[in-house]
A and B are shown apart, each in its own frame.
Chain A
Amino acid sequence: AQTVTQSQPEMSVQEAETVTLSCTYDTSESDYYLFWYKQPPSRQMILVIRQEAYKQQNATENRFSVNFQKAAKSFSLKISDSQLGDAAMYFCAYRTITSGSRLTFGEGTQLTVNP
């Protein structure tokens, strides 16, 4: 079974600065998908960014980008020019292409943005 680990329960960043959230995963599969989801206090799960394992190029989405290291099984999220609205719980998730294509989540990182 796949596992996802987020080693930083809490992180903080100053407004307009850059922060990187870490994520590692364990799998024996060669094809899969990785995601970062954001959960603000409203509790809604919001997709931040998606990465296909077969793509070497790192995904970017406006101020959000990832550093995908397939051999190291690492998938970190970089938030540039942090804004107060970025404050939320961030979850890293792994999606297998087998076993019902389930999504496995890490424990989450609580990000605080200081003005």
Chain B
Amino acid sequence: NAGVTQTPKFRVLKTGQSMTLLCAQDMNHEYMYWYRQDPGMGLRLIHYSVGEGTTAKGEVPDGYNVSRLKKQNFLLGLESAAPSQTSVYFCASSYGLARELFFGEGSRLTVL
């Protein structure tokens, strides 16, 4: 039982490059979330999903796209990376409304 797994853990990109972050959970959770963490700003929600095949925008969605083709996976894509997207990205999942979110270990992305 691995919980929430994010890949890759680290990545360096050049401005304009694209990449995809993969989040996988083995807990059969319905809800999945992508957050970014920047110094002094806590965690801010990028996109989220309330079930397979569904996605919705969060607080800071610009420049990102997501897909949830399978219940256990939630992908975060950057089509044309910008230096402002340098951050630590966290994926999280939850079984239901009343439960806590379980987080992955984070992925550090640097855009040069």
User: Would you list which residues of chain A between 26 and 65 have a CB under 8 Å from chain B?
Assistant: 33, 35, 42-45, 47, 50, 52
Q: Which interface class (under 10, 10 to 19, 20 to 34, 35 or more) fits A?
A: 20 to 34
B45 proximity list for chain A (CB < 8 A): 102-104
B-side binding surface: helix, strand, loop or mixed? strand
B50 proximity list for chain A (CB < 8 A): 100-101
Cα A97 to Cα B97 with chains together (Å): 6
- In the complex, the answer to whether B42 meets A45 with C-beta atoms within 8 Å is no
Q: Is A107 among interface residues, defined by CB-CB distance under 8 A?
A: yes
Contact code string B86-105 (vs A, CB < 8 Å = 1, else 0)? 00101010100110110101
A105 proximity list for chain B (CB < 8 A): 35, 42-44
Q: Report, nearest first, the 4 A-B pairs whose CB atoms are least far apart.
A: A45-B103, A105-B42, A105-B43, A107-B42
Residues of chain A whose beta carbon lies under 8 Å from any beta carbon of chain B: 4, 9, 33, 35, 42-45, 47, 50, 52, 91, 95, 97, 100-108
